Amino acid sequence: MNILIIGAGYAGVLTAKKLAKRFKKNEDVSITIVDKNPFHTMLTELHEVAANRVEEDSIKLSLKKIFAGRKVKVRLDVIQDIDFANKKAVGLKDSYAYDYLVVAAGSKPTFFGVPGAQEYAYKLWSYDDAVVLRDHIHDCFRRASREINPEEKKKLLSFFVVGAGFTGTEMMGELAEYIPILCEEFEIDRSEVTLHIADVLPRIIPALPEKLSQKVERRLKKAGVELYLGTNVVKIGEGFIELKKDDNPRQIESHTIIWAAGTESAEITGVAAQSLPSAGRGRLETDQFLRSIGNENVYVVGDNIYYTPQGEKNPVPQVVENCEQSADIAAHNLVCAITRKGEMKAYKPKFHGIMVSVGGRYGVAYVGTAGRKFSLPSFLAMFSKHFINIIYFIQVLGWNKIFSYLKHEFFTIRHNRSFVGGHFSNKTPSFLLVPLRIWLGAVWVFEGIMKIVDSWLTTPKLTGFFGGTNAWYDSILNGLTNTGDGASTATPAVADTISSATGVVEETVEKIGQVFINFDFFGLFKVIFVSGKELAKSKLEDFAFKLDIPLMNWFVDEVILPNNSLQLAMQIFIVVAEILIGLSLIGGLFTTPSTAFSLVLQFMFVCTTGLYLGTTFWMIFAAIALLIGSGRIWGLDYYVYPFLKRRWKKLKLVRKSYLYND
């Protein structure tokens, strides 16, 4: 049984993955996906590459990696015809027989018959489009910086977007954000650059409520964009665009005209539409199970669907959420059709709204349920956009793509072009962390050695160690009654015990100390912050912080302390761990797991003895600073990690589960 999927866009990839999961143990079913590219393109992020906010590889997801370890055959080809009678798709390289066909070819730009649009306008509907446009924009500024002809310079610095829908608005938002950066780089006055956007419709992104459309319009105008709404594009030529509004023609000269005015089904879908019922710019009509009206062996997903759900007035929109939900329904129904088991599901999509980014820092969102939607403030709108992208990446390429996405969008973001600015961007050279890494490692080794000197490897110490510190905290929290000779009637043995256990207090307790925080979180844990002396007399080493967790206390009191052998085993474990962490950090070997484990140890200490601000509390923050990549500079990780990474990625389970990053 052969399933052929045409197109590796959002819907095609998800359909293939879902089918592979359902048929992974069925050797009688073969799944093949055909696309002209060896990668899946994030079409909703093209504008980010075109305006040079992120690297071009951020919008590419390798099909080989997506389907690693899965029974999906990836074929690089261009399907030119489909023989529905003989169940065969014909490509440039080969022919592909099928029992069931899934049409997921996506869309392409439509030019509405505007003369010159296809020949002279830049498109934004593929990976290549985004890269070409990015290079062209940069080249325009390079040429303009040395152009002496004022008319030619004006054309080079004039940028025009046709279409004020999602793609056009997001492209113009990114461009408006990018222009000041280019002006500074090439020493061009911002006033010399003009930005224009035109649409035949009366407002920006009509799918949004009018109030949100107006917010987007104000944002664009504030960025210096001139809007031509309710305006027809009459003609596009080499270096110019002609507009008409209310019978008033206007020509604007520009070397950069970007077409984002609409889409129609891909060429192969148009070919299929000659044999199958279709509507709406080549979209294929389907029944409620997403089968073609004219052929039950053909399923349609994503942008190629023309289907109006029961109770709705309009056909399903060409958005990513439609791709995701239709892929799930089509995959389920294909399984039912092939196995003859289960009941087919009708397609009843539930769309949760739309989000539009106007550059990397600002966005609007209209989200919610089918019955009630609401708008989000810009920060939450942008947060939601990134969160939803991550949810999609989990489905497609797991941790690998999530790490890559976070890296491109936040950790290496250019010019602070993010809704959180550059606060997560890795701008500090990591070689400056080398002294901190070596010093932290030396302190851990010192801590371990001093415990060896204190007989931690041979004598149980934890009863006195924990008991002394607990008594010290209790004496401060509950108050002490001084006896005149410095001892406390509430804690008669505190002085000697704590002195040997912590080295923080003196031989006798002269002051009851001071409590700053003693907050109980619903009995789950208690946050304690105290000083061993009055505030006026306190030094940094007198302050202590502790998390008091009842479950941890029970484990220590009932399991660890009553058993001397277990105490000794725990002590040996702590000593060995401290020395190994220290040596690891000094040598820069496995620094990420070492610093992560050091944080676990510090958490254990915080929950048992507490940490003192003047001694070891700083080690928590040092470990956080060194957590990622600190051993790649002047450390053994520079050699070891690439070596292990190459071999790790070759493991079948690792590739299948995407448990790696690039």
- The secondary structure of 192-205 as a DSSP string is G-EEEEEESSSSS-
* Spatial contact of 107 and 10, defined as CB atoms under 8 Å apart: no
Q: What is the average pLDDT score of the chain?
A: 91
Q: What angle do CA 353, 357, 359 make, to 5 degrees?
A: 180
Q: What is the pLDDT of residue 518?
A: 93
Polymer length of the chain: 662
Other CB atoms within a 10 A radius of the CB of residue 213 amount to 22
Q: Are the beta carbons of 462 and 610 closer than 8 angstroms?
A: no
More confident residue, 660 or 542: 542
Cβ–Cβ under 8 Å, residues 105 and 7: yes
CA dist 599 and 359 (Å) reads 38
Residue 662 scores a pLDDT above 80: no
512-544 residue pLDDT tens: 688 999 999 988 999 999 998 888 888 998 999
CB atoms within 10 A of CB 111: 19
Over residues 558-597, the pLDDT tens digits come to 999 999 999 999 999 999 999 999 999 999 999 999 999 9
What helix, strand, coil percent values describe the chain, rounded to 5? 45, 20, 35
Mean pLDDT of 54-66: 94
pLDDT digits (tens, 9 = 90+) for 608-640: 989 889 888 999 999 999 998 888 888 998 899
Cα torsion 425, 429, 432, 438 to 10°: value is 80
Residue 337 clears pLDDT 50, i.e. is over it: yes
Contacts of 96 (CB under 8 A, 6+ apart): 4, 32, 34, 75, 77, 79, 88, 89, 90
Q: What is the pLDDT of residue 512?
A: 67
What does the block give as tokens for 175?
């461009």
DSSP bridge partners of 241: 236, 252
Question: Domain 117-261 maps to which CATH number in 3.40.720.10, 3.50.50.100, 1.10.10.10, 3.50.50.60?
Answer: 3.50.50.100
DSSP 94: -
CA 638 to chain centre: 26
First to last CA, the chain: 35
β-sheet bridge partners, residue 39: 62
Contact (CB, 8 A) for 104 and 302? yes
> Which token pair is 649?
């990625």
pLDDT in tens, 282-334: 899 999 999 999 899 999 999 999 999 988 889 999 999 999 999 999 999 99
**Beta-strand runs (E) in 124-209:** 158-162, 194-199
658 pLDDT tier (thresholds 50, 70, 90): confident
Q: Choose which CATH entry (3.50.50.100, 3.30.70.520, 3.50.50.60, 3.40.50.2000) describes domain 2-107+265-339.
A: 3.50.50.100
- Angle at CA of residue 206, ends 249 and 213, nearest 5°: 95
Q: What is the 3-state secondary structure (H, E, C) of 416-481?
A: HCCCCCCCCCCCCCHHHHHHHHHHHHHHHHHHHHHHHHCCCCCCCCHHHHHHHHHHHHHHHHHCCC
Q: What is the pLDDT of residues 392-419, one digit of tens each?
A: 999 999 888 898 899 999 989 988 899 9
Please report, rounded to a whole number, the percentage of residues in the chain having pLDDT higher than 90.
76
Structural contact between residues 38 and 127, judged by C-beta atoms closer than 8 angstroms: no
Checking if the pLDDT of 120 tops 70, the result is yes
Lowest mean pLDDT among 74-83, 192-201, 400-409, 427-436: 427-436
With cut-offs at 50, 70 and 90, classify the pLDDT of residue 480.
low
Tokens representing 582? 């220290």
pLDDT score at 498: 40
Q: Rounded to whole angstroms, how far apart are CA atoms 516 and 530?
A: 6
Cα angle 367, 105, 88 (rounded to 5 degrees) comes to: 145
Q: What tokens does 451 get? A: 């415990």
Average pLDDT over residues 19-36: 95
Structure tokens that stand for 656 in this block: 């299948």
Tokens at residue 448, please?
Answer: 């371990």
C-beta neighbour count of 256 within 10 angstroms: 20
Contact 283, 108 (CB under 8 A): no
Read off the tokens for 348. 């009843």
Tokens of 169: 């608005």
In sequence order, what DSSP letters do the residues of 574-605 get, joined into one string?
HHHHHHHHHHHHHHTSSHHHHHHHHHHHHHHH
Is the predicted pLDDT of residue 489 greater than 50, yes or no? no
> What integer is the mean pLDDT of 147-174?
97
**Is pLDDT of 66 > 70?**
yes
Residues of the chain with CATH 3.50.50.100: 2-107+265-339, 117-261
Cβ-in-10-Å burial (0-12, 13-18, 19+) of 234 comes to middle
Eight-state DSSP code of residue 488: B
* Nearest CA-CA partner of 607 in 483, 524, 533: 524
For the cut 90, the answer to whether the pLDDT of residue 500 exceeds it is no
Q: What is the per-residue pLDDT across 91-101, written as a single tens digit (0 to 9) for each?
A: 999 999 999 99
| Model confidence band, residue 428 (pLDDT cutoffs 50, 70, 90) | confident
